[in-house]
Amino acid sequence: MVAGPVAGTLLADFGAEVIKLEQPGKGDPIRHSGPFCEGESLYWVVEGRNKKSITLDLHVPEGQELLRELVAHADVLIENFRPGTMEKWNVGWEQLKAINPRLIMLRVSGFGQTGPYSMRPAYDRIALAFAGFLNMTGFPDRPPVRPGTAIADYQGAMMGAFAVMLALYARDVGKAGGRQIDVSLYESVFRFTDVMVTAYDKLGIQRERRGNSHFAASPGDHYLTADGRYIALTIAANNVFSRLCAAMKRPELVDDPRYATHAERVRHYEAINGIVAEWIKTQAVDAVCAQLTEAGVPHALVYGVEDIVRDPHYQARGSIVTMHHPKLGDVKMPGVFPRLGNADEYPIQPAPELGADTEEVLQELLNLSQGQIESLRRAGAI
């Protein structure tokens, strides 16, 4: 529901002409996902941006034929159905590559196009569980914790957009023709589980929930301040630990054999982490952040959205942009990332109304007459 469409959004943000194909009368499921403002899905306002929308019903032969005609003019087709769905509609990879041998077809699914689980339905949380991510997220004495945003969906979208660009480059420099790309949500997460499998393979280590501790950081945690906020710290390098000790006015800790090296600090994690926690909880946020900043210690206040929209760094970099929406007026949302030169090169256009571009696309891309378009509409194809 998210990964495939957002892969299209990422490409659209950088100037690709992306034509969103939607079910007549229903539209993309994201249009019906909250939160809503004045009847508009804010999810759609963000992830439908920079696209055109046409309606097309793949359940009817006329709609299937229309897609085949569109594909003849396309560089890329993105689909996010369960494997086999496009084939059922007579618009699978074999049929489409015969029409356009240069076509790149990105196929996004929960478990991939092959394998014994390929036909299983999946959403973000299911992929996170299957990839081993949830098993190491949370505290050891409590159930696994879902992250606060759709990590698998968005990593799947990034993988998809990345793969499309690789395939287009290989095609356009003559190293390959069109190709089918198989992106699964679980593998998009699994690739970022760092050494989990390798450590198990070579050392028998089974990664489990450790709360906020991490084998590469000691001390490291989300520390409570005197005024009830949390500060994130990660200390691995010895010189950074020395700077932290200077900020705490505890220089003797640098020469303590329990804390002299990163390996020793990991062995004595509870002790050194407790010392840092005690120091931070006696101070308000502003005071402790000022000391850490002066000492050059990497840290961040654990931000909520109100902190983000007020922060001068977000403002200076234009991380949040304002787009004018025809119904909602000015709407703030994340900008276009990553940055390629001047951000002004990539203006954001509002997410389209359902089917807003159907006639324009069919007339300009396929040279269909008004009469032909009306015939398709009567047949329920658009």
Which residue numbers are catalytic? 153
CB distance 75 to 8 below 8 Å: no
Q: Token pair of 160, please?
A: 């998809």
Residue that has been written with the tokens 């190491």 in this structure: 136
**Which of 105, 109, 103, 139 minimizes the C-alpha distance to 124?**
109
* Surface-to-core class of residue 381, CB atoms within 10 Å of its CB (0-12 exposed, 13-18 middle, 19+ buried): buried
Task: Report the alpha-carbon distance of residue 194 to residue 188 in Å, rounded.
Answer: 12
Within 10 angstroms of residue 225's Cβ, the number of other Cβ atoms is 19
- Give bridge partners of residue 330 from the DSSP assignment: 324
CB distance 128 to 193 below 8 Å: no
Helices (H), 205-268: 238-248, 262-267
Task: For residue 230, report the phi and psi dihedrals to the nearest 5 degrees.
Answer: -115, 140
User: In angstroms, what CA-CA distances link 10 with 7, 78, 247?
Assistant: 5, 12, 42
Q: What value, to the nearest 5°, has the Cα angle with vertex 197 and ends 195 and 202?
A: 90
User: In angstroms, what CA-CA distances link 58 with 50, 62, 106, 242, 381?
Assistant: 23, 8, 18, 63, 7
Residue 217 per-residue DSSP state: B
Give 324's contacts (C-beta < 8 A, 6+ positions apart).
330, 331, 350
